[in-house]
Amino acid sequence: MKIFSNYDIIRLCIKRMELNIFLRGGILQKVLIIYSTEGDLKKIAEGIAQGARQKGYEVELFDTGYSGRPISFYKYDLVVAGAPTQGIFRGKIPSDLSKFLKDCKRTTGQEAMAFVTPRFFATNKALKKVMGELEKLGCIVKDFRTIKNEKEAKEFGNSFNL
């Protein structure tokens, strides 16, 4: 009996992999963009979304002020998270991004990207902190950027290659 149940599980896994490959190879792939409410990131997040949509991706935007049901990363092919750089040397990020990401579900193994807005010498440290928050959840950070304006944001969104 165990042999059959294991066989069924293996067969189910194979079917799920085929289904997953089929869905990821489909026309619309989904991108989730999460951005901090601190700083002026809304226009940058919308620029990233516009660039991704031009490339044919379906995009959902959430700011860290969202208070609905916890978000599951499972239904997205890519998760992009961003925050403004705070401080001049230490490279801090707002705590709202960390709190928001901790509430997210099914994060392990998810492909992710990170972005920050530049600020003096602290930019690289802040970028590493955003990447670290994603990695704590088990996400695989594929790319990261410092984005100054909407034009760079659109270019970043247009560079997505899933």
Fold for 27-158, please state it: Rossmann fold (3.40.50)
Domain boundaries, the chain: 27-158
Of 122 and 18, the structure prediction assigns the larger pLDDT to 122
Residue 54 is predicted with a pLDDT of 94
Q: For the segment 113-155, what is each residue's pLDDT rounded down to a tens digit? A: 999 999 889 899 999 999 999 999 999 999 999 999 999 999 9
The answer to whether residue 90 scores a pLDDT higher than 90 is: no
The model's confidence at residue 88, banded by pLDDT at 50, 70 and 90, is confident
Residue 95 is predicted with a pLDDT of 94
Give the CA distances from residue 21 to residues 17, 25, 26, 29, 74, in Å, rounded to whole numbers and listed in that order. 6, 6, 9, 12, 14
> pTM of the prediction?
0.80
